[in-house]
Amino acid sequence: MSHKEDIEEKKSFHHTELYISIPRTCLPIVYHPDYNITFMGLEKLHPFDSGKWGKVICYLKEEQFIHDGNIVGALEATEEDLLVVHTKHYLNRLKWSLVVATITEIPPLLFLPNFLVQRKVLKPLRTQTGGTIMAGKLAIDRGWAINVGGGFHHCSSDRGGGFCAYADITLAIKFLFERVQGISKATIIDLDAHQGNGHERDFMDDRRVFIMDMYNPYIYPRDEYAKRAIKRKVELEWGTEDFEYLQKVHLHSEGALNEVQPDIIVYNAGTDILDGDPLGGLSISPQHLIGAEALEGDRSSSLVTSMMGHCGPSGSKFSAV
């Protein structure tokens, strides 16, 4: 994309509430109680802990790191916001409960009327998606930002999966490319145990986006086509432990950031790398996961972190933030 085309792209965009002005008294940490999914116990049918975001916030409050008055309240992404990346056809498909049941891997949802699925499942995911977009702008304004939810890295513009219904990472980056002058290059560092095939499909031929993905290749989604978009691919063996993991995080994140000079770094933090996680297949201790987060946090002046992944053993609920 030429500089002239970049300027033209930034001139034409819809009105959004997601780029509202945030008081300086607020930390650049985005959250809303609506992130948490609870409905008749159906959420317990999947190993993903769909209430973990509230647990993270409770812990941070108990430790007096934050309080209700100094974090940013996430806003729900509207259909217009979502159409920046998603096709109309895909969003219409989410009006079918069968489709949502397939994406979230919770089969009983297909028997529920869609208005309930929208309210109890998709609205929380849209609110988290809005939170990631807001965190992107906050990172530019403040130098860093965290969305306690989001990180739906299995969803692309026209397909969802793996509990990911909206492509919040792609949306956050495309919003910045469209709306913030001087933001034209992005790096995604994805440390979730699963391959981030959604944003990889979305940025397959986009030279403005550099993707580093470090994951277990033997688990979902095993998307060979999407792997073509990864500029720095780090595939881990079953049961990878602390020392080897941190060594690779350090080596490859340094390498990724030396290869390009991005305007924004999106770091997708997954707690599913923890020892004992039912899906990740890795063996990282909570203490060393914190070390991995610290390594990434030290490397960027404009960082937006999304927390995604399956909750592991006790203590992991705060490690990804």
The set of catalytic residues is 154
Report the run of H or E that residue 30 belongs to, with start and end. strand 29-31
List Cα–Cα distances, 300 to 137, 144, 168, 294, in angstroms.
15, 8, 20, 11
Taken in order 245, 199, 196, 125, the sign of the CA dihedral is positive
Nearest to 78 by CA among 32, 7, 133: 133
Dihedral-angle region of residue 86 (phi above 0 means left; psi in -120 to 50 means alpha; beta otherwise): beta
Contacts 24+ apart (CB under 8 A), 245-250: 245/273, 245/282, 245/284, 245/288, 245/292, 246/288, 246/291, 246/292, 246/295, 248/214, 249/191, 249/214, 249/292, 249/295, 249/296, 250/295
- Strands 144-147, 264-270: pairing is unpaired
